[in-house]
Amino acid sequence: MVGRPNPFRGLEEVFERLNRQFEDAARTWESDVDTRVGFGWSVGDGSNGLDVAEYDEEFVVTVDVPGYEKEDIEVRLSGETLHVAGERERETDEEADTYLRRERTARSFSRRVRLPDPVDAEDVSASVDNGVLTVTLAKLEPASASRSIDIE
């Protein structure tokens, strides 16, 4: 039987791919929003890479968002947690029967990242350029002035 093709190889590949997807999903469900500069949980296919850079006066978060328009993306700040989500609808075409192969489907993603220091919610900007979302968050100025406290 050497050299004979395995008739179940296609099914084995499907099961292997499903197994990897379930393992990835289980890892994201088990993780919580990390208290360090961790990447909390994410939903989607994992193709939306995320970077966090810290500079003297600000954090810069960049997220890969290929194929998403700015109207498809939502950016929210809650305390020290930045939430970025996107949803892209499938293009509808009246002549769907003309497709020989159709892989571009509706997609969505959701990413959260907890920043290591407080940020100024009033001094946040975001832009999308060439499939990359850049969010700039100014750090909160620490209260440097000290004051005396009277004891009653």
**52-111 pLDDT, tens per residue?**
999 999 999 999 998 888 899 999 999 889 999 998 876 665 566 677 777 777 788 889
The class level of CATH for 9-91+106-139 reads: mainly beta
Q: What average pLDDT does range 33-48 have in this prediction?
A: 48
Cβ atoms of 135 and 125 closer than 8 Å = yes
Length of the chain: 152
Q: Quick one: pLDDT at residue 33?
A: 41
Domains of the chain by residue range: 9-91+106-139
Distance of CA 87 to the CA centre of its chain: 11
Rounded Cα distance between 41 and 28, Å, is 5
Cβ atoms of 65 and 131 closer than 8 Å = yes
Would the pTM count as exceeding 0.85? no
Amino acid at 13: E
